[in-house]
């Protein structure tokens, strides 16, 4: 079979490719570095011809033309599985057509195969190899399931995307594709991490005390996980492994320091596994044709039963607030959607199931409002509108700059006492009074 010839036969302009989109259709944009640029612009160019086109995407990291040409939602409705600063910006700017889709991340491929339909799938991929396959590159995630479920598949081929080896089924063949568009757009990147705060350093130090040689590590995103990665790179730890949904620069820093070998992993031995990547160009270069670093569909990567096969699975994530009942909110502040559930609960569960594993939720004890008012992140109740990311029934460690507590197996009064012990001191008396009102404080509790 002449795959190069088939490629040329399917190669069209972005404007030609999006002619297949009709009013009322469901269109899928993939996720993060897989979100198309030329196809999005071409679809936006048809704004006056189309009505009620519903677009799904995830982790929107570059501007979306369909949102810039239609703020009212008369033509395009945009639904994001996991919000970013850019998604929030569009919402704040008055876009009435931006919505959040709640998701336990590992269920995403299942939803595409069983619960939702895709009329047209548009996704960015790496260039085709000699066998006719395209790598999903930095955005494996649910790409395979999306393509399988789509009536029409359009690939936007970008030579800037690395060829990332797959642990399972992270490729799509030319025979499965309807149209091909070429666009060598710049990849979304994250700016270098700034200097860590003293709070970040204090929390990171407490996290490091829980890690052991051979730990398999999952890191979330943000200044605190970055600080933890830096401190790991500077530590005496060795033979660490990677099993994570998101590959970030902290892993590259640990690798360059000789901390990552993956040789003590019980599953995918010798290989670091991730679902998608977002970071620096150097991070992307590290993934290119690196057989020691492979991507996997998210229903494999985030499966608690898979990750739990690795001993000492360490899940390290952020939270926005925790209430005295032990419920964690990590994705929304009141009615203000910040991000999404992602894989936090998946990894919290898997780490708890792992031999020697630990689920670590990290946060500063306080935050400061725009008016300068300081608030406690440990609250009697979650703010109105906040949703529970991690239920109190799932055991985890909670760490602030004032200490760490393991909430596994605790009663309500024990949880309240433990949580208050790591709250900022100026809020503890107030929290105790609230705990007494809630009926979760014993007379003999420490004050």
Contacts of 409 (CB under 8 A, 6+ apart): 395
pLDDT of residue 196: 87
Give the chain's radius of gyration (CA, Å).
Answer: 23
Q: Is 125 helix (H, G, I), strand (E, B) or coil?
A: strand
CATH architecture of 198-438: 3-Layer(aba) Sandwich (3.40)
Indicate the average pLDDT of the chain: 94
Known active-site residue 245: yes
Give 158-190 as a DSSP string.
-TTS----BSSS-EEEGGG-SEEEE--PPPP-P
Q: Which of 15, 182, 209, 245 is catalytic?
A: 245
User: Cα(446)–Cα(117) distance, rounded to whole angstroms?
Assistant: 55
> Residue 252 has which token pair?
């590259």
374-376 and 332-333: which strand pairing?
unpaired
User: Cα(162)–Cα(286) distance, rounded to whole angstroms?
Assistant: 9
Length of the chain: 447
pLDDT of residue 167: 81
For the chain, list residues with pLDDT below 70.
169-170, 445-447
What φ, ψ does residue 425 adopt, rounded to 5°?
-55, -35
Encode pLDDT of 295-312 as tens digits. Answer: 999 999 999 999 999 999
pLDDT of residue 224: 80
User: Cα(342)–Cα(105) distance, rounded to whole angstroms?
Assistant: 5
CA angle centred on 177, ends 172 and 182, rounded to 5°: 90
Q: Is the pTM of this model over 0.75?
A: yes
336-337 and 332-333: which strand pairing?
antiparallel
Q: Is the Cα torsion angle 57, 60, 66, 68 positive or negative in sign?
A: positive
Q: Is the Cα torsion angle 325, 88, 26, 134 positive or negative in sign?
A: negative
User: Cα(194)–Cα(175) distance, rounded to whole angstroms?
Assistant: 45
Buried b (16+ CB within 10 A) or exposed e, 240-277: bbbbbbbbbbbbbbbbebebbbbebbbebeebbbbbbb
pLDDT of residue 193: 76
> Residue 432 has which token pair?
């105790």
Q: Is the Cα torsion angle 360, 361, 366, 367 positive or negative in sign?
A: positive
Encode pLDDT of 228-272 as tens digits. Answer: 988 999 999 999 999 999 999 999 999 999 999 999 999 999 999
> Residue 428 has which token pair?
């503890």
pLDDT of residue 169: 67
pLDDT of residue 223: 79
What CATH superfamily is the domain 25-182? Answer: Glutaconate Coenzyme A-transferase (3.40.1080.10)
Left (φ > 0), alpha (ψ -120 to 50) or beta: where does 172 sit? Answer: beta
User: Cα(3)–Cα(128) distance, rounded to whole angstroms?
Assistant: 9
- Same CATH topology for 25-182 and 198-438? yes
Residue with tokens 């936007």: 156
Other C-beta atoms closer than 10 Å to the C-beta of 444 total 7
Domain ranges of the chain: 25-182, 198-438
């Amino acid at each position: 079979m002449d795959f190069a010839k088939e490629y040329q036969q399917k190669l069209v302009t972005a404007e030609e490719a999006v002619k297949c989109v009709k009013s009322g259709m469901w269109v899928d944009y993939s996720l993060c570095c897989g979100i198309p640029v030329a196809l999005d612009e071409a679809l936006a160019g048809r704004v006056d011809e189309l009505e009620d086109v519903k677009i799904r995407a995830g982790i929107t990291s570059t501007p979306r033309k369909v949102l810039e040409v239609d703020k009212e939602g008369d033509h395009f409705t945009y639904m994001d599985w996991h919000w970013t600063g850019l998604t929030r910006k569009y919402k704040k700017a008055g876009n009435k057509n931006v919505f959040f889709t709640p998701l336990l991340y590992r269920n995403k491929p299942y939803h595409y195969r069983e619960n939702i339909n895709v009329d047209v799938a548009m996704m960015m991929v790496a260039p085709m190899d000699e066998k006719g396959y395209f790598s999903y590159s930095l955005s494996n995630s649910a790409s395979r399931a999306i393509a399988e479920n789509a009536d029409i598949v359009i690939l936007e081929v970008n030579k800037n995307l690395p060829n990332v080896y797959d642990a399972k089924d992270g490729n799509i063949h030319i025979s499965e594709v309807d149209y091909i568009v070429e666009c060598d757009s710049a990849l979304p990147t994250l700016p270098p991490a700034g200097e860590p705060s003293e709070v970040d350093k204090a929390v990171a130090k407490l996290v490091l005390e829980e890690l052991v040689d051979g730990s398999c590590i999952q890191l979330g995103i943000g200044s605190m996980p970055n600080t933890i990665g830096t401190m790991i790179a500077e530590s005496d730890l060795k033979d660490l492994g990677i099993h994570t949904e998101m590959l970030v620069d902290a892993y590259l820093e640990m690798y360059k320091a000789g901390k990552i070998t993956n040789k003590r992993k019980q599953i995918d031995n010798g290989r670091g596994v991730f679902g998608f990547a977002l970071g620096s160009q150097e991070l992307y270069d590290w993934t290119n044709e690196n057989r020691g670093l492979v991507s996997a569909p998210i229903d494999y990567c985030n499966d608690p039963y898979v990750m739990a096969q690795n001993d000492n699975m360490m899940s390290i994530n952020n939270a926005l607030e925790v209430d005295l009942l032990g419920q964690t909110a990590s994705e929304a502040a009141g009615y203000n959607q910040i991000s999404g559930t992602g894989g936090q609960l998946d990894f919290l569960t898997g780490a708890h199931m792992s031999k020697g594993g630990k689920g670590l939720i990290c946060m500063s004890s306080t935050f400061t409002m725009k008016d300068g008012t300081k608030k406690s992140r440990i609250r009697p109740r979650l703010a109105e509108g906040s949703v529970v990311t991690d239920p109190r029934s799932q055991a985890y460690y909670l760490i602030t700059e004032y200490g760490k507590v393991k909430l596994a197996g605790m009663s309500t009064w024990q949880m309240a006492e433990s949580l208050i012990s790591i709250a900022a001191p100026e809020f503890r008396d107030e929290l105790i009074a609230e705990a007494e009102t809630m009926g979760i404080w014993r007379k003999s509790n420490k004050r």
